[in-house]
Structure 1
Amino acid sequence: MGLTRARDLVAGAVAAAVLGYLLVRATYRYFPPITVWTGISLLGVAVALAGWGFYVRARVRDGEIGVGRGRLHPLAVARSVVIAKAAAWMGAVVLGWWVAVAAYVLPRRDALRVAAADSPGTVVAALCALALVAAALWLQHCCRSPEDTPPDADPATG
């Protein structure tokens, strides 16, 4: 299983943004109010993933992977990679959604009072979704074994 490529996540976010914009354009009048707290749960998940990434990275660097007391089981690392991949894709799709909402709401702030009220919450939710993607990619990076990382280029060997 390889790392999630950024270009694939961008493509997913763009597709979600295009479809989301069409949906927002047709149904915005039925939306509930978008508060600043709307997307904060994404930030909580991002913080948890980033913290787990630091923990896994420290264990991998110290060689504490394996079976035994106080060690991180290899299956736990594999499961972390799967969770990170899923979180990266979900974050990209949700980011696309919030970008679509922002693309609809921000230009209409002067004309629609509701759009002006929804703008801060939309921007915060999009930033929290971006933080989720970044944290998920960080966790994936931290789960790499030392053998997976490319060695530094040795200037003596050319």
Structure 2
Amino acid sequence: MRASRPAVLLALVFGSALVVWALLKGMYSQLPPLPWTAVPTLLLLALGEIVTGVNLRNKIHHRSAAEEARPVDPLSVANMAVLGKASAHAAAALTGVFLGFVLHVLPDLDLPTPRHDLIVSVATSVSALALTGAALFLEYCCRIPKDPEAEKNDRRS
């Protein structure tokens, strides 16, 4: 499995933003105001992925608090890498969805509902970006360190 690519994440953001913006042209008036519930949810997920990444990285590099820490299970590291990649892609798509809302409501800020939806959309987009960053960090923490002997041989060459 390869690490998430920035071009794919940007394509998800811009693609979903355009699709949502186009869909909202015809159906925005039928939707209820956006709820705030996604903001704390995304931020808690981001925090969980950061904590998991730091703990996993410490275990991989044998910097655990316990003297005789058990070695890390390779399957759990692979599962966390998959979680990081899936979270990065989903959060990028969510960022685009709420940026699509931002693009749609910008011209109507004199009305209360679009103004509320703009504030919620911006906050949710920022939260989704935070989750994207945390997911990329989790992916980074799942990388296997190079063998110290191989690094010494590379330096000699």
**Alignment TM class, shorter chain as reference:** 0.7 to 0.9
1-structure distance, mates of 2:156, 2:109: 60
Q: Structure 1 counterpart of 2:79, which letter?
A: R
Which residue is 1:22 aligned to? 22
Using a 3 Å threshold, how does the CA distance of structure 1 residues 147 and 155 change in structure 2: closer, same or farther? closer
Where do residues 47-62 of structure 1 align in structure 2 (5 Å cutoff)?
47-62=47-62
Does the CA-based 8 Å contact 2:46-2:131 persist in structure 1? Answer: yes
Does the CA-based 8 Å contact 2:95-2:128 persist in structure 1? Answer: yes
Using a 3 Å threshold, how does the CA distance of structure 1 residues 74 and 156 change in structure 2: closer, same or farther? closer
2-structure distance, mates of 1:63, 1:54: 10
Which residue is 2:126 aligned to? 127
Which string of whole-angstrom CA distances, capped at 9 and with x for unpartnered residues, describes residues 82-125 of structure 1?
11111011001100000000111133212x22111222111110
Which residue is 2:135 aligned to? 136
1:106 matches 2:106: yes
- Alpha-carbon offset, residue 75 of structure 1: 0.5
Does the CA-based 8 Å contact 2:101-2:117 persist in structure 1? Answer: no
Identity rate of aligned residues, in percent?
30
Which string of whole-angstrom CA distances, capped at 9 and with x for unpartnered residues, describes residues 46-78 of structure 1?
1111110111111112177xxx97332110000
Which residue is 1:2 aligned to? 2
Which residue is 2:32 aligned to? 32
Which string of whole-angstrom CA distances, capped at 9 and with x for unpartnered residues, describes residues 3-23 of structure 1?
011111001111111101111
Structure 1 regions of 5+ residues with no counterpart? none
Does the CA-based 8 Å contact 2:87-2:135 persist in structure 1? Answer: yes
Larger helix share, 1 or 2: 2
What secondary structure, in the 3-state scheme, does the structure 2 residue paired with 1:4 have? coil
Does the CA-based 8 Å contact 1:38-1:121 persist in structure 2? Answer: no
Structure 2 regions of 5+ residues with no counterpart? none
Which residue is 1:118 aligned to? 117
Using a 3 Å threshold, how does the CA distance of structure 1 residues 54 and 63 change in structure 2: closer, same or farther? closer
The Cα RMSD (Å) is 2.4
**Greater Cα offset, 12-21 or 26-35:** 26-35
